[in-house]
A and B are shown apart, each in its own frame.
Chain A
Amino acid sequence: MNYDYDVCIVGSGAGAAPIAYELSKAGKSVVVLEKGPWYKTEDFTKDELLCCRRSVYTPNLKDERHVLENKNDDNEWIGRSTYDTGRDFWNGNMVGGSSNLMSGYFHRLKPEDFRLFSEFGPIDGANIVDWPITYDDLEPYYTKVEEVVGVSGKIVDHPHQEPRSTQDFPFQATAEHPIVNKIDEACRELGYHSIPTPRAILSKNALDRKACSYSNYCGSYGCATDAKGSARAALLNPAIETGKCEIRPHAMVFKLESDESGKVTTAKYYNEQGKIKSVSAKVFVVACQASETARLLLMSIGSKHPNGLANNNGQVGKNLIYSAGGSGSGDILFKNYNDSEIAQLKIQGLFVNRSLQDWYVIDDRAFGKRSKGGTIDFLFRHANPISRAISQKWGPDGLQWGKALKDSIKSYFTEGRHLRFEIFNDWLPTDDCFVSLDPEVKDKWGNPVARLRLGYHQHDLKVGKYLANKAESVLNKMGAENIYSSISGSPPPNLVAGGCRFGDDPATSVLDKDCRAHNVENLYITDASFMPTGGSVPYTWTIYANSFRVADIINSRL
């Protein structure tokens, strides 16, 4: 049989690009179908209006939306469209996906994350399982990401440093803001081990990309130098140069057709003009972010897949997870510092590369039994001026305006720096967090939208609050004022995983340990969908690493 391509990849982000990179370099023909547009490096500016105040990098909600289910006061799950609520659940709708817009806080998982059930035991109401692979299986690929995508940092000894096959990062850490000295000093006094946060950002020209320009606008923005290790800059651009990889933007895949044997034969998609097109390939890889990946499989009914592709055991969409935790902040007010210190604090653009992983495992009687903990990252509040000013429109008695508003804005912008922290801990998989197809709401092409039930486990909040207290103690020791934190079960849309978990038992998983669908011989899923538990760090590095691992597996069969 003739095929259009060896490999067809749906999606172009961190889960997709390593496949395109490795297989095109190996001489295989690859096509990448991406729903969003194809922005080039020169398109990316530091324009808050475009980046963050309008739906440019995400679909317009009137065209494409989600239905989100949350519990009401009567304990009933109520679904509401994001178009009606304005709560946007999209991110990174473009070639390279949301990796274009990440901050690039890169932490590896740790060995315990691969055996959460064995290490910490069951928790009532949570579907915790061990992974079918170990940290040792993934370690070479974490190293590969450091070298190919580009991870900068510095290894320092600390109680939860994961094993490494190399001594240090291939790229030295990005330049740091002087406030890290105050964070380090506070942590030393508290007996904590502050560590440099590894970043997927090049500190020097390398890999045919330019070094970071320290523009002060990193997260949520596309990178204007390609220093950020986006899937587009780091992997798709080199893949295209092989002449074996074709990218098709504005290609919204709505069905994977399968034959009588159950194999996928064709990807059907709408092009920019709304016309239906199709592509055939030997192998199909789906990586369009967890909820959309599950949605595509559920929409792809075939004679061997009456409940949706790879869903004969009803597992597709189940055990969706997010990153649990939350954030907090404290004000570093200039009035408490001398002129020289104020000048240092006012420096813009340099990074606050500091994290704490002292409580990656919590072994504290006050907390309870030995438990999985998480990571604390420190950062300045985003530089976006409009959003910072708008945050001041609420006063003590409702909206504020006039002199009160102007005084608040002036004070917020000029009297100090706002040091934030973010907490990352496991969002335990439960029966109350999953993706299905909405029975009524359609997208602009007439296909059912993803309906997301967004339940969380109370244990997630307990861990998050424990970590937030530790982070607050650092800010307190630094002399910050107005310290607060917010830990909730509200899921961050950009930190989503699960829904097609991998495992050895087809009855309880969608994929085998190679990330191939149990009952679809030529279908692989390589975004974060495969993760049965999420670990307590941002997912991107692990997505990249696993996708490189699966690329080797696919390459060996072609």
Chain B
Amino acid sequence: MLDTNQKSAADKFILNKLDRRSFLIAAGVFTGSVSLGGLLSYLYRKYKIQPPYSGSESEIIRHFHDHLFPKTADSPSASEINSIDYLQFVLIDPEIDEDNKSLLINGVTWLEEECQNEFNKSFMNLSASDKNRILRIIEEANWGYRYISLNLNYILEALLSDPIYGGNPDEIGWQWLGHTPGIPRPTDSTKYNSK
């Protein structure tokens, strides 16, 4: 659980909304013992603010990410590397380009609209081949290409960034690829946005 000091940091974060300095402090709350998803849920609940995605949108994104990055015999799925929590970590980062954030938030709605128009079904209920078909269709549009490309970027960040950022749990991504991280690794006081 979050202790008193951590709540204090979170208070500052919320009171200042997405103010950069406060984000840095709040990001410092998140340690190895508290998952990123847990921290985000805590913040949303306590301050009654809307998370970037509704529950159903999160579910669509989960299907979308697991289609882009599926589980195989020797490798984890997007879900297993916490890609959605990682994406929400990206969305609350004030340093990330606002246009990209808007696309990440709106893209799920537009993807779903395309699925309804083409198949009269949600992306979640499409077969694997129809999921590929709809993604190839939206890839032809500028927004669709960027949307798929951005999600791939963040899935691969979740796969291969240091676990301190919430993805790559137990170094599962590094192990899959036999990757050796560099030393020294980031700590709570040296990681991204810790200052």
Contacts and interface: CB of A to CB of B under 8 A. Distances in A.
5 contacts: A48-B161, A49-B191, A389-B160, A393-B156, A398-B145
Interface string B179-191: 1111111110011
Interface of B: 67-70, 72, 75, 95, 97, 132, 135-136, 139, 145, 148-149, 152-153, 156-157, 159-162, 165, 173-174, 176-187, 190-192, 195
A55 B139 CA distance: 28
A504 interface: no
Interface stretch (A93-101, A114-122, A401-409): A401-409
A456 B23 CA distance: 43
Interface string A45-58: 11111100111100
B161 A386 contact: yes
Contact of B162 (A49, A398, A399): A49
Interface string A386-415: 100110010000110111011001100110
A60 interface: yes
Contacts of A127: none
Interface stretch (A196-204, A210-218, A427-435): A210-218
Most buried by A among B156, B159, B161, B178: B156
A392 to B, nearest CB: 9
A399 B149 contact: yes
Nearest to B156: A389
Contact of B75 (A55, A56, A60, A406): A406
Contact of B182 (A215, A401, A405, A413): A215
A330 to B, nearest CB: 21
Contacts of B145: 398-399
A43 B195 CA distance: 10
A393 B152 contact: yes
A410 B68 contact: no
Contacts of A48: 160-162
Interface in A17-40: none
Q: Which 10 A-B pairs give the minimum distances between C-beta atoms?
A: A46-B182, A217-B182, A47-B186, A413-B177, A50-B192, A385-B160, A401-B68, A389-B156, A215-B182, A45-B186
Contacts of B186: 45, 47, 49-50
A383 interface: yes
A441 interface: no
B168 to A, nearest CB: 10
Contacts of B157: 49, 53, 386
Contacts of A410: 75, 176-177
Contact of B69 (A348, A405, A414): A405
A126 interface: no
Nearest to B185: A45
B152 A49 contact: no
Nearest to A50: B192
Given A217-B182, A224-B184, A399 B139 contact: yes
A168 to B, nearest CB: 31
Nearest to A55: B95
Given A46-B185, A399-B149, A406-B69, 14 more contacts: A43-B190, A43-B195, A45-B184, A49-B161, A215-B182, A216-B180, A385-B160, A386-B156, A389-B156, A399-B152, A401-B67, A401-B68, A410-B176, A413-B177
A48 B180 CA distance: 13
Contacts of B191: 45, 47, 49-50
